[in-house]
Amino acid sequence: MATDSRHKAAISNLATLVKIPTVSRLDNDGTDWNQFTKFRAKLRELYPECHKALDLELVDNSTLLFRWRGKSDGQPAVLMAHYDVVPATVEGWEHPPFGATLVKDENGVESLWGRGTLDDKGSLVCVLEAVEHALGKGFRPQNDVYLSFGHDEEVAGTGASSVVELLKSRNITPWIVVDEGGAVVEGIFPGVDRPIAVVGVSEKGILSLRLTVLQQGGHASAPPKNAATIRLARALLRLNSKPFPKSFVPTNLEMIRTVGKEAKQPFKWVFGNLWLTKLPLLALFGKLSDETRAMIRTTQVVSQLSGAQAANAIPEKAEAVVNIRIAIDSSVSSVVEHVRKAIRDPLVQIETVHPTEPSPVSETSGRAWEIIKSTISKVYPRAIVTPYVMLGASDSRHFAQISNHVYRFSPFEMSAVERGTLHAKNERIRVETFWNGIRFYDELLLEL
Ligand SMILES: [Zn+2]
């Protein structure tokens, strides 16, 4: 059957691309750009029709922006993915991260192992497979379709924002943007047996705060009463004891209502009567897991700490970095205000580093949303489709500046174990769900 050989070719293409270690690093000099060049050359080889029929420009040196010209010149669609990956060494991996090994488990379920299979070369290959296939059948979309494939998503680089600036300068406002994000998951909601397709409609903001205490240095044999390190530690403890307020944002409530309708009793009743159960539920989410806790508030973690240069010196400077993920009903300025009040010490200097506001919430009604929903249902008929707030950040947040319909969804089934391999060891994708991912884009293209 033709479909079968198409599927086999697709998994082999993904394997080929996973083997090219396009690892992005925060220090640009540490990045092996040859791998990125090699990756793009390989794409050209594997997807010749796309490269023939679509216009291609390189943005910010390495981000690929394809333009597929539609039949008319209405608002375009944008399909996104990224081809950089986070670092991985062989240590702790059952199969080497850049080996792209096909493995059948004891239940006969086949997976392709390797860094980037789920995040995010899997999606990238699914998009290209669908476009290449559609071109082969002579298909042309109604309006333009852009494919935007970033090169520095994992280091929150400038690729995607440069694309957005470029599109802005050309007055382009996409009617729909689809990027990685949520997935088809199971067992995340008490009382619900069906799989749930979570589609990110917004993402939290990010901010690092550098807290610094300066002091006269000297020998540690005659220390001051309150060393800079102690002052800093006190500030951190005060901050830790004053968590940010918790609340359900409207998207959380929409998710609870949508999924709750499909829950078994008594959960159905609990999720369906939020006027009565909202506060106890909020308390429950605060305790259930780190993930549910993060859903309902701005989170903070002290990620870095430093003091004196030598073991026997009084620190001239004590410094901490607090990484903060900002709830979508909050803002950078209110977070800084909260921290200042919690710390209660003017000698602790607070500096903001790379602040990003939470992104606006995309609409969950109208044509774009309905298309996302119905396309997911075609491929995953058992899944309940719901909006949610993404906890992590992705490239698509930049696109919220030019579109009210930015949807973050990786069209794959991911178990809890598989989700745990993202940015960690033993990342892998089930072959079957990868094929479903291709079908998702096959179906989606027909609507664009
Ligand atoms: Zn990613």
Q: Give 65-90 pLDDT, tens digit per residue.
A: 999 999 999 999 999 999 999 999 99
* CATH classification code of 205-356: 3.30.70.360
State yes or no: is 84 an active-site residue: yes
Sign of CA dihedral 186, 190, 196, 198: negative
Kindly name the residue from 119, 152, 153, 413 that is annotated as catalytic. 153
> Positive or negative, the Cα torsion across 89, 117, 410, 419?
negative
Candidates 84, 119, 179, 427; catalytic one: 84
| Distance from Cα 137 to the centre of ligand 1, integer Å | 30
pLDDT computed for residue 334 by the predictor: 96
Residue 55 · residue 170 · CB < 8 Å = no
> Which of 260-274, 290-304, 363-377 reaches the highest mean pLDDT?
363-377
32 has catalytic annotation: no
CA 222, 227, 230, 234 dihedral sign is: positive
The strand pairing partners of 176, in sequence order, are 77
Taking alpha carbons only, the member of 413, 396, 326 closest to residue 362 is 396
Residue linked to tokens 């995953």: 380
Query: What does the mean pLDDT of the chain come to?
Result: 94
d(CA 102, CA 111): 6
Question: Which residues pair with residue 77 across a beta bridge?
Answer: 145, 176
> Cα of 128 to ligand 1 centre, how many Å?
17
pLDDT at 187: 82
Q: In the predicted model, what is the mean pLDDT of residues 158-168?
A: 96
**Which of 88, 146, 144, 75 minimizes the C-alpha distance to 117?**
88
* 2-201+359-446 shares its CATH topology with 205-356: no
Q: How far is the CA of 120 from the centre of ligand 1 (A)?
A: 5
As a whole number, mean pLDDT of residues 202-219 equals 90
Reply yes or no on whether the pLDDT at 268 is more than 60: yes
Q: Tell me the average pLDDT across 170-194.
A: 93
Indicate the pLDDT class of residue 392, thresholds 50, 70 and 90. confident
Lowest mean pLDDT among 26-35, 41-50, 65-74, 235-244: 26-35
User: Which CATH superfamily is 2-201+359-446 part of?
Assistant: Zn peptidases (3.40.630.10)
DSSP H helices in 67-205: 121-136, 159-169
How far is the centre of ligand 1, averaged over its atoms, from the C-alpha of 68 (Å)? 24
98-137 pLDDT, tens digit per residue, is 999 999 999 999 999 999 999 999 999 999 999 999 999 9
Which pair of structure tokens corresponds to residue 138? 């002579």
> What is the per-residue pLDDT for 1?
42
What is the arithmetic mean of pLDDT over 28-52?
94
Using CA atoms, how far residue 128 sits from 99, 146, 213, in Å, is: 22, 12, 52
* Domain spans, the chain: 2-201+359-446, 205-356
Q: Is a pLDDT exceeding 80 seen at residue 24?
A: yes
| Entry field: residues in the chain | 448
CA of 88 to the centre of ligand 1 (A): 15
What lies within 8 Å, CB to CB, of 308 at 6+ separation is: 217, 220, 229, 314, 315, 316
Output the CA 151–ligand 1 centroid distance in Å: 11
Handedness of CA 289, 292, 296, 297 (dihedral sign): positive
SS3 content of the chain, % helix, strand, coil (to 5): 40, 25, 35
CA dihedral 258, 436, 411, 58 (to 10 degrees): -160
| Percent of the chain at pLDDT exceeding 90 | 86
- Average pLDDT of span 322-348: 95
